[in-house]
Amino acid sequence: MVAPKLSNSRSSDSPNLRSVRYIRNRKAETREAAIAAGRLCEQICGGELAKAPDESVLFAALQSCAFRAVRQARRRSPRDAMAVKWCERWKTIRDYILEQNIGLVYSMIGRFGMKEVDRDDQRSEAFYALLHAVERFNPWRGIRFSTYACSAISHSLIHLSKKAARHRDRFPVEHEEWMEQSTDLEAWLELYADRLRRALQSNEGELTDREAAVLGWRFPLEGGRSLTFAEIGDAIGLSRERARQIQEKALGKLRGVLEADAALQ
C-alpha cells in the first residue's frame, strides 16, 4: 500500500532547515557520529541495507545530521553548501524512518478507525502525526519510538473524531455507531494510563525503590513539574547520566509488564 504524498513543505524535495530539530546530546556531536550518519545515508540512498537498522542507530544518525545542519547554518547561512548537505542527509534518514513505520499508521487506523470519517482524511491526519513524531522524538529518553508515535497518532485521530463530531452537531445525521467507535480510542488511552498507575503503585515491574523514585520524579502521575535528570541526581547523590540510566532500566521493566497485559491487547 502506497502512502499518500504529504503536501507539506517539510516533506518537499528541497530540505527546509526550519524542519530540522536538534535535541542536544554529546553522542550526536562527535566526529564518529557524523561519519556513521553519512555512511548510513549513503547506504539508504544506494539501497544497500539488507534490513532496517535498530531505531537507536537511525535516530542517533538523524540527530547527528540535525546537529551538523543547525551548527553550519548558524556559523554561515541556511543556504551554505554544507548546511544544505547535512539537511539533505537529515531528510533522507527521516524519510527512511517514516517508510519503516508506515505500518503504525494503518495499525492505529485499523484499531480505532471511524466508518463515518473519510478514510483519506484519517490517513492524512495520521501520516502528519507520524511525520511530526519522527521530527520531535527524543531518542535519549529511553522510550521506544513506536510507543511515542502510537500516542501521537492516537491523539491526532481523537482530534479528528472530535472535529467530525462538532460538524455533526451542526449538521445532524445518523451517527450513533460512529460515536460508539470514536470513544474506543479514548477509552483505550484511559485504560493504558490506569494500568500504568497500577503497575507503579503495586510495583508489578519489580522496580527498586530508587527506580520508582526516579520515575515518580520524571513522570509525576498526579500532575506537577517533571524534574530534570540533574535535579534528580542532586536529590539522590548521583550523576545526571546515572539518573538517566536508572530511568531507562525502569521503563524497560514497565514496558514488559504493559506489553504482557491482556487488557491492552
Which pLDDT tens digit goes with each residue over 103-140? 888 877 777 656 666 667 778 888 888 998 998 898 88
Region 229-247: what's the mean pLDDT?
83
Confidence (pLDDT) at 261: 62
pLDDT band at 215 (very low <50, low <70, confident <90, very high): confident
Q: Which of 204, 73, 153, 13 is nearest to 5 (CA)?
A: 13
Taking each continuous run of H as one helix and of E as one strand, the counts in the chain are 10, 0
User: Could you count the other beta carbons within 10 Å of the beta carbon of residue 149?
Assistant: 22
Q: Taking the alpha carbons of 56, 62, 65, 71 in that order, is the dihedral positive or negative? A: negative
Cell 524542519, residue located: 19
pTM to 2 decimals? 0.57
- Cell digits of residue 142: 529511553
Of 32-36, 89-93, 108-112, 190-194, least confident by mean pLDDT is 190-194
Confidence (pLDDT) at 14: 44
Distance (Å, rounded) from C-alpha 65 to C-alpha 34? 7
Q: Which of 56, 82, 70 is nearest to 24 (CA)?
A: 70
pLDDT band at 71 (very low <50, low <70, confident <90, very high): confident
Distance (Å, rounded) from C-alpha 63 to C-alpha 93? 10
Listed ranges 112-116, 169-173, 213-217, 241-245; the one with the highest mean pLDDT: 241-245
Region 4-12: what's the mean pLDDT?
39
- For 145-211, the DSSP string reads HHHHHHHHHHHHHHHHHHHHHHHHHHS----HHHHHHHHHHHHHHHHHHHHHHHHHHTTTT---HHH
* pLDDT above 80: residue 148: yes
One-letter identity of residue 179? M
Report the mean per-residue pLDDT for the chain: 76
Q: Say what angle helices 145-170 and 176-201 make with each other, to 10 degrees.
A: 150
Confidence (pLDDT) at 78: 61
- Cell digits of residue 25: 546530546
47: left (phi > 0), else alpha (psi -120 to 50), else beta?
Answer: left
| Beta carbons within 8 Å of 236's beta carbon, 6+ residues apart | 210, 213, 214, 243
* pLDDT above 50: residue 169: no
Question: How much helix, strand and coil, in percent to the nearest 5, is found in the chain?
Answer: 70, 0, 30
Listed ranges 55-64, 180-189, 193-202; the one with the highest mean pLDDT: 55-64
The overall longest dimension of the chain from CA atoms, in Å, is 61
pLDDT band at 4 (very low <50, low <70, confident <90, very high): very low
